[in-house]
Amino acid sequence: MAIQITQALGILHMTIERADRRNTITSDMFRTMTDALLDAATDPKVRVVLLKGHETVFSAGMDLEERMRSPEAITAAAERFFDVLRTFPKPIVAQVSGPAVGDAFTMLLYCDFVYCSTRALFSVPSVALALTPRFGTGYVMTAAAGYPKAAEKILLSEPISADEAEAMRLVTAVVEPDDLEMLVASKTARLAVLPPEAVAASKRLLRMARDAAIEAQSAEERSVFAERMASGEAKEAAAAFLEGRKPVFAPEE
C-alpha cells in the first residue's frame, strides 16, 4: 500500500510509503488520500490529520512516468485531491524529514502546520520542466514570501532550503532531525483535545480570503497548464527525461 492510513487518539495518520520511487505519487495514491480526507472530514473521531513521508524523502511529487502515459487521468486525480485538501475543515499537520518537490511541496502549502527537519528541501521545478505552477502554488508563495522571493524560486526553479523556507514563512518551524517526531507528536496531541468546532471555525475564517483568491484564478491556471503540457518545450522536457539527458531550450544562434 503506497499510502498508509491509520487512526489513533483522534489523529488520522496519512503516510506516503513508496520510498523505492522517491515517494512519487500516482493517480491511485491521489485517490486514496482524497477518499481518506473526505471520510475524515465527517468523522467525529478524527480531530487532526498528520501527513508524513519517508524519513529520507517526503515526496518527489507526481509520478512523471504515469503523467507521460496517462496525463488526463493523473491530472484529474490530482485536481480532485487538491480541491479536497484546500477545503478540508480540520487541521492538517505535516511532518517533513526530506525533500518535497513539485506537487508534494504544494501539498504542504495547504497544511495548517508544517514542521520540518534541517534535512528538508523544497522545490517548484515547473518552469524547468517547461510547465507552470498550479493548484495555487504561485499565489500562496507570493502571499507568504512576497513577489520578489517567490519569483526567484519559481521562475528560476531554485531549491529552497529548510532555513530559507522558514524565513519565507512557508513552514511553521525547523528543528534538528532527532527532535522532529517529538515536536509533531506534541502539536498533534494538543490539537486533538482542543474544542473541534472552534478549531474548524477558526481555520475557516483564517483561510477565507486566500481560498476565494485561489478559486478565482484556478480556471486560468488549469488552462495555461494544459497549453504548456501540449507545447514543444514540454515535449522536449519529457523526451529528455526519458532519454536521461538535459533538455535543450537555448535559443538558436
124-156 pLDDT per residue, tens = 999 999 999 999 999 999 999 999 999 999 999
Say how many domains are in the chain.
1
Gap between the Cα atoms of 187 and 226, Å rounded: 39
Q: Which is it for the CA torsion 170, 172, 173, 174, positive or negative?
A: negative
Percent of the chain with pLDDT over 90: 80
In a domain, 185, yes or no: no
Gap between the Cα atoms of 242 and 17, Å rounded: 24
pLDDT given for residue 251 in this prediction: 67
Nearest to 141 by CA among 79, 129, 149: 149
The mean pLDDT value for 203-210 works out to 92
In a domain, 182, yes or no: no
In a domain, 203, yes or no: no
Residue 167's pLDDT band (cuts 50, 70, 90)? very high
174 contacts 116 by C-beta, under 8 angstroms? yes
Radius of gyration of the chain (CA): 18
Backbone dihedral angles phi then psi of residue 33, each to the nearest 5 degrees = -65, -40
Q: Determine the structural domain holding residue 80 and report its residue range.
A: 3-177
Q: What is the domain-level CATH number for residue 23? A: 3.90.226.10
- The alpha carbon torsion through 14, 16, 17, 18 (nearest 10 deg) reads 160
In this structure, how many other beta carbons lie within 10 angstroms of the beta carbon of residue 209? Answer: 10
Backbone dihedral angles phi then psi of residue 98, each to the nearest 5 degrees = -150, -160
pLDDT given for residue 28 in this prediction: 97
The cell 478540508 sits on which residue? 88
Q: Model pTM greater than 0.85?
A: yes
In a domain, 220, yes or no: no
The cell 513577489 sits on which residue? 147
In a domain, 8, yes or no: yes
